[in-house]
Amino acid sequence: MKKYRAGIVGATGMVGQRFAVLLDKHPFFTVTAIAASPRSAGKTYTEAIDGRWKLDIPMPNYIKDMTVIDANDIDAIKPLVDFVFCAIDLPKAEVRELEEKYAKAEIIVVSNNSACRGLPDVPMLIPEINPEHTAVIETQKKRLGTKRGYIAVKPNCSIQSYVPLITPLLEYEPYEMVVTTYQAISGAGKTFAQWPEMIDNVIPYIGGEEEKSEKEPLKIWGKVEDGVIKNASLPVITTQCIRVPVTNGHLAAVFVKFRKNPTKEQILKAWDEYEGEPQRLRLPSAPEKFLTYFEEDNRPQTKLDRDIYGGMGVTAGRLREDTVYDWKFIGVSHNTLRGAAGGAVLSAEYLAAKGLLD
């Protein structure tokens, strides 16, 4: 496999730091540029981080002395990269403007940000689930007037604890779901040191999260028609998203009704057998097993199970019949790995394997 030159835009943030670690000695990608806000520009990565390293694994050596570029200085970044990963904290309109500027400069953008997720010609990828959505890239390139530049995004971290588990059950026609998510503080780019109010506390509000958690699954389950993604209309989903005092890992409590109600054995079999293109292509970040079910009543737990298969697997447990809905269960995924940087790296690996980074 040819090696691609990758930039990390937002390299100093929580997700950017995950990218820095995941791309260390990556078989497909070499980090050749790092960018962040004008505050960090011109400093080495170590200087720019200045005590803000948020991970419990050390900063990789390769990046320590790299100079941070201003993310807005696309002319400086363009000659250095084939594509960029993007995870920046800016208002949505500014993120969309910046990502489209990169694409128009013929730099492919693999984004963690939500700004472009709603656009029907932007693929929002969970590579195990909807790799065929990459077909809309051609439509997007026409809109942007580009030869090579485009934006591919990954969905919100909250949905990755239940969408992977509902996908193998779509043949049973789920039509109504209630989901409550219990989300880690790293989802807000924070640690306990930076957010002491979260210690011994639960906050029943995460701005914008419920809308994303209800709408984004319908795009993931949508079909490509006339060069764009037409969202699915079912299942209708209602959510409550709650911040809990956990460092990493989002847990979802799910209730679901089906038009063709499956048996417990059918659900467990569907989960056990489900795999996607990343497993078939043996992509470097693909979990050996996408979905793992625990029989124990007290699993999955965020702390015990978030790191399964390098934080790229999704776990489930407590599948049981419900008195109001048909079935209920619990799902867990790692929000900054599967839900953010890891998911984006896997998407880029898929794009590379399909020649879509050339």
Q: Which of 86, 116, 157, 241 is catalytic?
A: 157
Q: Which of 187, 278, 313, 331 binds ligand NAP (CB under 6 A)?
A: 187
250 is catalytic: yes
176 binds ligand NAP (CB under 6 A): no
Q: Which of 26, 133, 250, 334 is catalytic?
A: 250
Least Å distance, CB 89 to ligand NAP, is 4
86 is catalytic: no
Site size for ligand NAP (CB under 6 A): 27
307 binds ligand NAP (CB under 6 A): no
Which residues between 8 and 67 bind ligand NAP (CB under 6 A)? 10-16, 36-37, 39-40
339 binds ligand NAP (CB under 6 A): yes
Q: In this complex, which beta carbon is closest to ligand NAP, that of residue 90 or of residue 170?
A: 90
Least Å distance, CB 311 to ligand NAP, is 11
Least Å distance, CB 42 to ligand NAP, is 11
Write the secondary structure of the chain as one string of H (helix), E (strand) and C (coil).
CCCEEEEEECCCCHHHHHHHHHCCCCCCEEEEEEEECCCCCCCEHHHHHCCCCCCCCCCCHHHHCCEEEECCCHHHHHHHCCEEEECCCCCHHHHHHHHHHHHHCCCEEEECCCCCCCCCCCCECCCCCCHHHHHHHHHHHHHHCCCCCCEEECCCHHHHHCHHHHHHHHHHCEEEEEEEEEECHHHHCCCCCCCHHHCCCCECCCCCHHHHHHHHHHHHCCEEECCEEECCCCCEEEEEEEECCCCCCEEEEEEEEECCCCCHHHHHHHHHHCCCHHHHCCCCCCCCCCEEEECCCCCCCHHHHCCHHHHCCEEEEEEEECCCCCEEEEEEECCCHHHHHHHHHHHHHHHHHCCCCC
Q: Which of 157, 206, 267, 330 binds ligand NAP (CB under 6 A)?
A: 157
Least Å distance, CB 170 to ligand NAP, is 24
List the x/- string, 107-136, binding to ligand NAP by CB under 6 A: -----xxx----------------------
Least Å distance, CB 22 to ligand NAP, is 13
Catalog residues that contact ligand NAP under the rule CB under 6 A: 10-16, 36-37, 39-40, 71, 87-90, 112-114, 157, 186-187, 189, 335-336, 339-340
Catalytic site positions? 157, 250
